[in-house]
């Protein structure tokens, strides 16, 4: 099986997460996408929604699509093991006979290429990636400008231009909830109702 691993804070999950997942599933002939919420204890980003709420919203969002599955592998990892390198190592053990692809936007390719990820070089050497165009970033140039990326460029970076830019960020949705906006149709209705019911993101920045 070909499996995409889509990591994000999902704080909250948005319609663009679902649309991008479905687009790459179709284009790259993947059998399955694992939605992998990142752990709350991350050194690079402070998350607003607790692990339980973010997980519940992912479950609600993917419930009707049999290609989509939740993985709590990163969220439940011991402290210090919550980085993508370690997560992919564990997933590889869980799925020894399958082909795994880490799914990410071009902004993340830039970060990895800059050397800002934990064990980024080993991560790149050991895995395959599906990279989605974003923010007008030139993905080929990003690869050729970074020794870390270009030295591993043997076909492991599968570049996808989705066709539409379609930007809906979780940050924007959180701001809408906290500042009296109306983000209703930017995320699945079940997640919108969940957020309202639990009063989430009222004090977001």
Ligand X SMILES: O=C(O)c1ccc[n+]([C@@H]2O[C@H](COP(=O)([O-])O)[C@@H](O)[C@H]2O)c1
The 11-50 site mask, x for binding ligand X (CB under 6 A), equals: -------------------------x-x-----xx-----
According to DSSP, the β-strands at 157-160 and 68-70 are: unpaired
Closest CA relative to residue 60, chosen from 25, 104, 10 = 10
Phi, psi of 44 (to 5 degrees): -100, -10
For the beta carbon of residue 72, count every other beta carbon within 10 angstroms: 14
Task: Pick one of ligand X, ligand ATP, none as the site partner of residue 167 (Cβ within 5 to 8 A by kind).
Answer: ligand ATP
Judged by CB, which is closer to ligand X: 102, or 192?
102
Closest CA relative to residue 132, chosen from 163, 95, 89 = 163
Judged by CB, which is closer to ligand ATP: 38, or 86?
38
Give the CA angle between residues 86, 90, 93 to the nearest 5°.
145
The 79-108 site mask, x for binding ligand ATP (CB under 6 A), equals: -------------------------xx-xx
Which residues would be at the binding site for ligand ATP (CB under 6 A)? 8-9, 11, 16, 20, 104-105, 107-108, 132, 134, 166-167, 169-171
């Amino acid at each position: 099986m070909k499996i995409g691993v889509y990591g994000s804070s999902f704080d909250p999950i948005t319609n663009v997460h679902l649309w991008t997942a479905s687009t790459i599933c179709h284009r790259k002939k993947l059998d399955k996408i694992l939605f992998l919420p990142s752990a709350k204890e991350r050194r690079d980003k402070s998350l607003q929604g607790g692990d339980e709420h973010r997980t519940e919203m992912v479950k609600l969002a993917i419930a009707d699509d049999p290609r989509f599955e939740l993985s709590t592998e990163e969220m439940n990892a011991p402290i210090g093991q919550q980085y993508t390198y370690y997560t992919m190592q564990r997933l590889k053990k869980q799925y020894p006979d399958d082909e795994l692809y880490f799914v990410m936007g071009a902004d993340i390719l830039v970060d990895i290429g800059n050397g800002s990820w934990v064990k980024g070089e080993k991560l790149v050497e050991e895995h395959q990636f599906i990279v989605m165009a974003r923010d007008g970033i030139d993905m080929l140039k990003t690869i050729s400008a970074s020794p870390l990326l270009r030295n591993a460029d043997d076909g492991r970076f599968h570049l996808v231009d989705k066709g539409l830019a379609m930007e809906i960020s979780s940050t924007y949705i959180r701001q809408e909830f906290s500042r009296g906006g109306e983000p209703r149709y930017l995320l699945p209705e079940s997640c919108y109702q969940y957020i309202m019911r639990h009063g989430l993101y009222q004090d977001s920045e």
